[in-house]
Chains A and B, each alone.
Chain A
Amino acid sequence: MSVAEKYIGAKQPSKPETIYMLRLADNALILGQRLSEMCGHGPEMELDMAMTNMSLDLIGQAKLLFEHILTLEDLAPNIDVLAMTRPLEQYTNCLLVAQPNVDFAHIMLRQYLFSTMQKLQYEALLESNDITLAAIAEKSLKEIAYHIRFAKSWVLRLGDGTEESRSRMVDALDCLWRFTGEMFAQDAGLMAMVKTGLTANFTLTYKNWRLEITHILSEAGDLSPPDTARMIMGGHQGRHDENLGHILTDMQFMQLSYPGLKW
């Protein structure tokens, strides 16, 4: 086997558990990567540090998940090959996490929408028949609580701040809301895992989630979810928009340029 064959790409996961966990890992990895782009460029030094902090948490969560996945299925020689060398269509993160850092309103709304979903998604793992996964979820939930608190406080400030900040929030909602449906889709990958007891079905809480978000948005300068005719889906199945390829170009650069080396 050539070095490239061994160290570039990963085997396609065949177990339903690892397929589902890769989705969780990719969500955390790609959002962490997105946030890390802001390192040194945040609109305020304290906000810069807060975004870096969330990035650290998310990439840390992804690392734990990738490590666990490799104990369940031999997909790659190490977590970095698994995380950083797959072809685009093998990443199964939701589309929301790859959306660009347009401005601080987009970044905070993206975080709020994702983290509130992630809380439900990880709470559904606490009773998992996979105790390692449950432990990862439990640890992550402490971090997620902070992410929600931080992002929510800024959704409120920006929505109910100035005319400019409100109009930026309106734009962010317009762009990002249409990706929220995918996070709660009851697709085959999730439902198979509900059956085996790996996870509870967190998508059943969608209505409550929507009520809570709608309530916070109304407090935030009377914002409301836009009238979205349909939700955009596909990330969990590896059908991505134009953003992910650019994220991967950066993230995969070293692993693809120097396959098999230790760093």
Chain B
Amino acid sequence: MYSTDLRTDKEKKSADQQILDDAELWNTFQARIDNGDTIEAKDAMPKKYRQTLIRQISQHAHSEIIGQLPEGNWVTRAPTLKRKLILLAKIQDEAGHGLYLYSAAETLGRSRDDMVADLLSGKAKYSTIFNYPTPSWADIGTIGWLVDGAAIVNQIPLCRCSYGPYARAMVRVCKEESFHQRQGYEIVTVLARGSAEQKAMAQDSLNRFWWPSLMMFGPSDGASTHSSQNMKWKIKRHSNDELRQRFIDATVPQAEFLGLTIPDPDLKWNEERSSYDHGDIDWDEFWAVIKDGGICGKDRIRARRAAAKDGIWVRAAAEAYAAKQSAKERVA
């Protein structure tokens, strides 16, 4: 998922100013968008369009890479060989999404190394959902069911995003996420139909992940200029609230089918809207996690920094070896 706009107001204003810097380009560009053209890497585009996409795609890539960690927490302890294999394959998919997305973002002119450096320094953000812990095996099911489920709702419209490389990446990512969502729901189904302690495990996990999953869609966007600009540029096609509602309406019956209870006493079916009404989301919690990384943010970044540090001597060796090989070839 992971396209939530996490910039401060100041950052948003400064970006808006840049529209004025290339007004003519902006008009021609908008005409192409309105015409339904797909924008490709070498096409002229306003700075703000480029920057918005670099931010959004790299944030999405970071989320995939950081997202390996809460699930990786259960790889060595998965309850059966089958579950271990599925989990490994799923995490491998997520890593693949990360690489694919970094490549898509690189087409806009920023290197993967720079983007990763921003992640490790804390400058770049990633989805807050991955800063929540996975203390129980049920969390592996819940992440597939809810987190990947929310990601799909967010990402399906992105398959029609105006920027070609991102849209094409999303088509492939969505196919795999759909498989992840089903395997997650299957894990939860087995738990919900299992022993009393397994059912309690599933319910406890749903209780912890429900609200953070709703937060994945970002705050209510209201009439923000940023949101409407992204809509005009067809980077975004639906409001955060609209997507969140779509997710809730799809997920509540799935929970009911399993006999699990959504931890929202205000949740009720609204006949008039043919949709569920839900309780207030605790946005203070959302912003607090963005600010301090929540329970696991420090561990997530520390783990990625450690991996990057372990990579320094490996990369240096690979480069030195490659240089020696090409020197040998020249001599030959």
Contacts and interface: CB of A to CB of B under 8 A. Distances in A.
Interface of A: 33, 36-37, 39-49, 52-53, 55-56, 59-60, 62-63, 66, 79-80, 83-84, 103-104, 156-158, 160-162, 164-165, 168, 247, 250-251, 253-255, 258, 261-263
Nearest to A44: B311
Given A49-B92, A156-B321, A164-B317, A250 B82 contact: no
B76 A43 contact: no
A160 B81 contact: no
Nearest to B73: A40
B307 A42 contact: yes
B79 A80 contact: yes
B163 interface: no
Contacts of B20: none
12 contacts: A37-B76, A40-B95, A43-B307, A49-B95, A55-B88, A59-B84, A59-B85, A66-B81, A157-B317, A164-B317, A262-B190, A262-B194
Interface stretch (B64-72, B177-185, B240-248): B64-72
A258 B315 CA distance: 43
Nearest to A251: B76
A91 B122 CA distance: 44
A258 B69 CA distance: 25
Q: Which 6 A-B pairs have the closest CB atoms?
A: A161-B317, A165-B317, A254-B79, A40-B72, A40-B68, A43-B311
A255 to B, nearest CB: 6
A56 B89 contact: yes
B79 A63 contact: no
Contact of B81 (A83, A253, A262): A83
Interface of B: 65, 68-69, 71-72, 75-85, 88-89, 91-92, 95-96, 98-99, 137, 187, 190-191, 194-195, 197-198, 303, 306-307, 310-311, 313-318, 320-321, 324
A162 B314 CA distance: 9
A33 B198 CA distance: 25
A62 B80 CA distance: 12
B79 A255 contact: yes
A59 B314 CA distance: 26
A59 B88 contact: yes
B315 A44 contact: yes
A221 to B, nearest CB: 9
A27 to B, nearest CB: 15
B80 A253 contact: no
Contacts of A45: 65, 95, 98-99
Centre residue among A42, A104, A161, A164 by max chain B CB count within 10 A: A161
B81 A63 contact: yes
B75 A41 contact: no
B99 A43 contact: no
A151 to B, nearest CB: 14
Contacts of A258: 79, 195, 197-198
A40 B69 contact: yes
A48 B307 CA distance: 9
Contact of A165 (B65, B137, B194, B316): B316
Contacts of A52: 88, 91-92, 95
Contacts of B191: 263
Contacts of A53: 92
Contacts of B194: 261-262
A37 B303 CA distance: 13
A111 to B, nearest CB: 14
A249 B31 CA distance: 62
A164 B77 CA distance: 34
Contacts of B80: 80, 84, 255, 263
Given A33-B76, A66-B81, A49 B317 contact: no
Nearest to B99: A45
Contacts of A251: 76-77
Given A160-B321, A161-B317, A46 B76 contact: no
A47 B95 CA distance: 11
A43 B79 contact: no
Centre residue among A40, A62, A157, A254 by max chain B CB count within 10 A: A40
Contacts of B197: 258
A36 B77 contact: no
A162 B316 contact: yes
Nearest to A83: B81
A198 B257 CA distance: 50
